[in-house]
Structure 1
Amino acid sequence: MRKPSAGRFARLGAVVTAAGLVTVGMAATPALAVSDTLWIAAPYELALPKAVDGRQAPAATVALGLYHDNADHRVTDGRLTVDASALTGVAEITWPETCAPNGATAVCSFPEVPLSGETPVELKIRAAAGAEAGPVGQITYTATATTDDGVISGPENSTSVRIASGPDLVLNRPAPVTGVKPGSTVPVPFSVVNNGNEAADGVQVTLFVTRGLAVGGVAPQCTSTPLGEGTIKPITKVDCAFDDVVEPGGSFTLPAPLRAKVASYALGERIDITVAAGGGAEDLAMENNGAIAAIDVVNTADFAVRGARVSGAAGETVTAELTFRNRGPAWVANLGSGDPVAAVDVTVPAGATVTAVPDSCEPRTLDGGWWESETRTGAPRYLCQLPMWVAEKQTATFPFELRIDTVVRGAKGAVTLKPPYGDAPLAFDPNSANNTAKLVLNPAA
C-alpha cells in the first residue's frame, strides 16, 4: 500500500484540463495503531549516475522521513532502520549525523515525528568505480515510534536502486512568499544544476502560472497558452525550449530573472515549474525536476448569497433561484487541490418538496447526514458545491423547483455559505453578514 506524496508539483494544468495529477514518487507504508498511522516517506526508485572516464561518480540524494496522521497525538522517538546491504560493493553511502551506521545498516532518529511528509534525513549515495549500469538491489526500511497508546511500527518499505547514465537536472525549490501586496512585483528564484554524469543537450522549461500573476514573455524561446474553458482563463502555461548544453556539475538559469507581477485580484497564487533535458533524454531522477513557487497575497474576497421569495397554490411547482456572488476584490482558486472554493447549504421550507435541483447539489438529511434515497429529489436539505475557482464579481445561480404540497404562510428555509468541508469560517471572507439568506415560500402579505 502506498500513500500519495505530500510533495506534488506541475499539476495545475492537469487540474484545469481534468487530466491525471502529477505526483512526486514517494513511497509510504502504513502501520495502524489504535488511532494513528505511521508512514515511511522514501523514494520509490533511485538511479545512481555511473562513474565515467575514471572520474568519481556524482552523488545522489535519498530523502527519508517519518510522519503520522492524527493531530491529536504526539508521536516521539521515531527510529527508522535503513538496510542498504544490497548495495555493498556497488555503491558508497554517506550517512547524516542523525543516523547511527553499523556497516551497511543504520538507525536514523526522529525525536519528534511530524504530521506532514517532511523528509529531514538525507543520505548521499554514489556508484562505486567500475560498477556497471543496471539494477543493483533495494534499500529497505522499517520504523517504530512511540505514542500515548504505545509503540507503532511501519512495515518494510523499499527503494529500488539502479546504476544508469544520463543527465539529472535538479530544480531549486523556492521558499513560499507571504505578505505580498496587490500590484507589487515578486522575484521568483530559478536555477537548475545537472547532478548527472552526462550533459543535458538543451533544457525544456514549463511554467503553470495562476491567473493572479503575470510573468510576461519570460524569454524569446517561450510561448504562452491560456488554459481553461470560458472567457476567463485560470492558468497560463508557458513553454520554453533553450539550446544550452549543461555539463555534469554545471548550472542553467533563465536569460533574465523570473519576476511575477501581482494583480489587484490576486490571493493564493502559485507558479508550478518543471524542467527536462532537451531532445527527450531520460532524466535520472524526475522527482527533483519540479517545484512550486507559492505566493500568498494580502487580499480578501467577499462571498455572498441571496435567497428568494416565491409563492404558489397547493399542487403548483415554483422555481426559486438562489444566487451566489463573489463581490471581490480577489478571485479565489483551489487549483492545486481541485476542491470547491465553498458550498451553498440549502434548507427547504416546510410544506414543499424539491422536484428538480442543479447537478452540483447533493441531497442531505435535515441534520446534514447522507440522503439514503435512490433519487436526488425530495430531500429536506441540499449541499451545492461551487467550482474549484471563482473570479472576482462572478455569480452562480442554483434554481430549485419546489412543489407546494401544503400552503404554509411564510414558510422559511435557509441559504448558507460554508467551506466545502467542515464548518469553519471562510478565512478570506471578512464579511460574514451576507453569508446567509432566507428562502421564503408563500410570504405573508
Structure 2
Amino acid sequence: MHRSLGRRLGFGAVAAAAAITFAAPAHAAAPTVSLLVPGVTVAAGAATQVEPLLWADREVSVDDWAMTLELTGDLDGVAFVDPADEFADCQVDSPQKLTCTDPFTFDLSTTVTGTAFTPEIAASEAALGRTGKLTATFTGAGITTVTTSTDLTVAEGVDLVAGNEATVSAKPGDNFTTKLQVTNNTDKVVHGASLIFATDYGYAAPNEFSNCLYRADQLRACTFGQDLQPGATYEVTVPYLLRKDTAAPDEVFGEFQWLTAGDYDDLVKLLADRGLPGLGDPGTGDALPLAAKPAVRALTKQTDTNPDDNWQNVTVTSVGNQGTDFSAMPVTAKGAMGGTVDLPVGVRNNGPATLDWSRSADPAAAVIVTIPAGTQVTTVPAGCERSTDGSQQTNPKAVQYACYSSSLFPAGSVVTYDFRVKLVANVTNAQGLIEVNPPCECSRFSHDIDKTNDNATIVINPGRVVTGTPYHSPVRKAP
C-alpha cells in the first residue's frame, strides 16, 4: 500500500514546522482551527492512505465534527476506497467524495495531530499520469469551517528498500561513519533518490557536501540524481563526529529514510507552499556519492510503493564515562511588605555531557520551585505551572510550581525562570527551595552525577541564620 506524504514522514518536518509557525490572532473571539493535507501521490494500480493534520490556536474540544474529502480535476479512474474503520464513521458519498464523523469529542491543541481515520484513495493502472485536487473541509460546533486543498498525482509505483539496522561504537569526540543502503526492489528504473536524516543531538556533521542540506552542523537531507537500476543495491558512506559532550556510556540513535525524487519534490513543495521552514541550507564541497553494490535482495515485481521499508536505523554506542551534572542556582532578594521582588530561578548543566531527551520529547530538567511563605506569585514565567499532582509536588503543604526545560539541555548552558512575587507580610529569612529533577515515579532524568547541588534555597530578606532544610517529601507516584 502506498501512503501519503504526511504518513510516509510520520508527520516529520510537515507537522513540526506547522506547529512552530502557527500564530494565534490576538484576542480571538472563537478558537481558530487550521487544517493541512500533505500532497498525495497515488501509485497506478494501488491505493494511498490520506491523513489530514489539524491544530488550533488553543486547547479546544470540538463536538459534532465532520471531515469531508472530495476529488476534483482530471481524475478518471481515481476514487475513494469504501472504508472499514471501527474508530470513525466514514461514508463514501460518491467515488469522488467521502465524509467522516465520530461520536466522540475531537480534542485539539497547538500540537499538530492526525485524525482517527485514514481514508484510502485508489487509482487504476489506466489513470497513470492523471492529476487533480484533493479538498478537505472540517466543520464542528463552536468553530469556523476550515477548508484546504492539495495536489493529487497518479504516478508510476516503485519500491525503495532500505538496508538493515546497524550498530557502531565511538568515544565522544571521535569520528565514525554510517553506511546506508538502498535497493530498487522493482523491475523499473528509479530516476533519482533522496535521503532524509533524523538523528539525535550526538550526531554532528564534520564535513559538508554540495548535494546535502544542513541545519548548523546537523545533516538533514541529501539528493542523488542517478538512476537506480532494477534489483540493484546502492550504498552511501556518511561521515559523522560524535559530539564531545555526548553522554557515555549511552546510545545515540539515527533514523534514515529513502524517498523517490518525486516524493522528495512533493515534500519540498509542500513546505514552500505553506510558508514552512525548509529542510536546511545547501552544503559546500564535493557531492556525496551513492555507489552501486552487488544486489543483495531478490527482485520482486511490484506496482505500489511500500514506504514502511524505506527506513534504516543506526545506533551509535557512545563509549566512555561522562555524565550530566545539573545544579540549582540559589536566589536572594530583598523587599518591603506590599512591594514585589524578582526571583530568577536558574538551573545550569555543568556537563560534561549534554542531556538529549529529544527522542522521548520529555523535558531534560524538571524544576520544582517552592515559593517562600509570606509572598504571593504575581508573574509565572513561560514553561512553568502551578504544581497539582504527585509528580510536581515535593511538599504538599507549600505553594509550588513545576518548570520544564526543553528536551535538549547543552552542557555549559543555563536556563532561568523569572518569577515575580509580592510580599504580603513582613518577612525575614523567608525561605523557598529549588529542586532539579527530584525523584518521582514518572519519566524523569535520574542519573545526575552529583546530586549534592541539585537543590538550592530561595531567601527573601536574609537576616539571622536559619538551620535545617526545607521539607522534602518521599517519592510520590504520579497519577
TM-score, normalisation: structure 2 = 0.53
1:245 aligns with 2:227: yes
Aligned to 1:201: 191
Aligned to 1:293: 314
1:339-390 per-residue CA deviation (whole Å, 9 max, x = no partner) reads: 32121110111111111120211012496679xxxxxxxx911001101212
Aligned to 2:261: 278
Q: CA RMSD in A?
A: 4.3
2:166 alignment partner AA: A
Aligned to 1:259: 239
Matched-pair contact (CA < 8 Å) for 2:179–2:235: no
Matched-pair contact (CA < 8 Å) for 1:10–1:274: no
After TM superposition, the structure 1 stretch with the greater mean CA deviation from structure 2, 386-395 or 257-266, is 257-266
Matched-pair contact (CA < 8 Å) for 2:193–2:225: yes
Matched-pair contact (CA < 8 Å) for 2:201–2:356: no
Unmatched 5+ residue regions in structure 1?
A: 1-6, 21-46, 51-132, 143-156, 227-232, 371-378
Cα distance in structure 1, aligned partners of 2:442 and 2:431: 22
- The alpha carbon displacement at 1:202 in A equals 1.2
1:326 aligns with 2:309: no
1:416 aligns with 2:435: yes
Cα distance in structure 1, aligned partners of 2:158 and 2:442: 49
SS at structure 2 position matched to 1:253: strand
Q: How does 1:43-192 map to 2 (within 5 A)?
A: 166-177=157-168, 180-192=170-182
Matched-pair contact (CA < 8 Å) for 1:193–1:252: yes
Aligned to 2:145: none
Matched-pair contact (CA < 8 Å) for 2:437–2:444: yes
1:439 aligns with 2:450: no
Give the count of matched residue pairs. 305
- Identity among equivalent positions (%) equals 24
Cα distance in structure 1, aligned partners of 2:14 and 2:207: 18
SS at structure 2 position matched to 1:190: strand
SS at structure 2 position matched to 1:403: strand
Matched-pair contact (CA < 8 Å) for 2:253–2:316: yes
1:223 aligns with 2:244: no
Matched-pair contact (CA < 8 Å) for 1:324–1:395: yes
Cα 1:366/1:402, change in 2 over 3 Å: farther
- The alpha carbon displacement at 1:415 in A equals 0.7
Matched-pair contact (CA < 8 Å) for 2:189–2:230: yes
Aligned to 1:80: none
- The alpha carbon displacement at 1:187 in A equals 3.0
- The alpha carbon displacement at 1:185 in A equals 2.7
Matched-pair contact (CA < 8 Å) for 1:49–1:197: no
Cα distance in structure 1, aligned partners of 2:438 and 2:318: 20
Cα 1:304/1:315, change in 2 over 3 Å: same
TM-score, normalisation: structure 1 = 0.57
Aligned to 1:309: 332
SS at structure 2 position matched to 1:243: strand
SS at structure 1 position matched to 2:452: coil
Matched-pair contact (CA < 8 Å) for 1:331–1:392: yes
Quick check: which one's strand share is greater? Answer: 1
Cα 1:387/1:307, change in 2 over 3 Å: same
- The alpha carbon displacement at 1:294 in A equals 3.2
SS at structure 1 position matched to 2:166: coil
Cα distance in structure 2, aligned partners of 1:17 and 1:213: 25
1:16-57 per-residue CA deviation (whole Å, 9 max, x = no partner) reads: 88469xxxxxxxxxxxxxxxxxxxxxxxxxx9998xxxxxxx
Cα distance in structure 2, aligned partners of 1:158 and 1:276: 22
SS at structure 1 position matched to 2:308: helix
1:146-185 per-residue CA deviation (whole Å, 9 max, x = no partner) reads: xxxxxxxxxxx999998875210011242355x6421223
Cα 1:236/1:424, change in 2 over 3 Å: closer
Cα distance in structure 1, aligned partners of 2:438 and 2:310: 34
Aligned to 1:214: 204
Quick check: which one's helix share is greater? Answer: 2
